[in-house]
Amino acid sequence: GNSVTQMEGPVTLSEEAFLTINCTYTATGYPSLFWYVQYPGEGLQLLLKATKADDKGSNKGFEATYRKETTSFHLEKGSVQVSDSAVYFCALTMNTGFQKLVFGTGTRLLVSP
């Protein structure tokens, strides 16, 4: 079946450090890929998405590129802020029919001043 694998957390960084959170997927076919973020006490929010190979999703300084050859969708940010502390979920859905999100286990990011 379809699945998403994320790097284990927590990821602990100092403010202004470079962030990478790895995400790889297994899917029969070519899915759309998403990053969701969950801030403390809030629901999941869509951060960015990419619907086909080589697409780059970006939002709020975060970026991720859909790499079909490595089945990856790694999340990056050049300079993190304390306010970026949250749990980040990578997810996929197949592009046929209705959306059925399959999530990874999440990666907690802690940014210290």
Partner 1 sequence: EAGVVQSPRYKIIEKKQPVAFWCNPISGHNTLYWYLQNLGQGPELLIRYENEEAVDDSQLPKDRFSAERLKGVDSTLKIQPAELGDSAVYLCASSLTGKSGDTQYFGPGTRLTVL
CB atoms within 10 A of CB 6: 23
CB 90 within 8 A of CB 35: yes
Q: What is the phi-psi region of residue 83: left when phi exceeds 0, alpha when psi lies from -120 to 50, beta otherwise?
A: alpha
Please count the residues of the chain.
113
93 binds partner 1 (CB under 8 A): yes
57 binds partner 1 (CB under 8 A): no
Smallest separation (angstroms) from partner 1 to the CB of 107: 10
CB 25 within 8 A of CB 19: no
From candidates 32, 35, 84, 109, binder to partner 1 by CB under 8 A: 32
Give dist(CA 14, CA 81) in Å, integer: 8
Smallest separation (angstroms) from partner 1 to the CB of 82: 22
From candidates 4, 13, 21, 86, binder to partner 1 by CB under 8 A: 4
53 binds partner 1 (CB under 8 A): no
Q: Which residues bind partner 1 (CB under 8 A)?
A: 4, 32, 36, 41-46, 49, 51, 89, 91, 93-101, 103-106
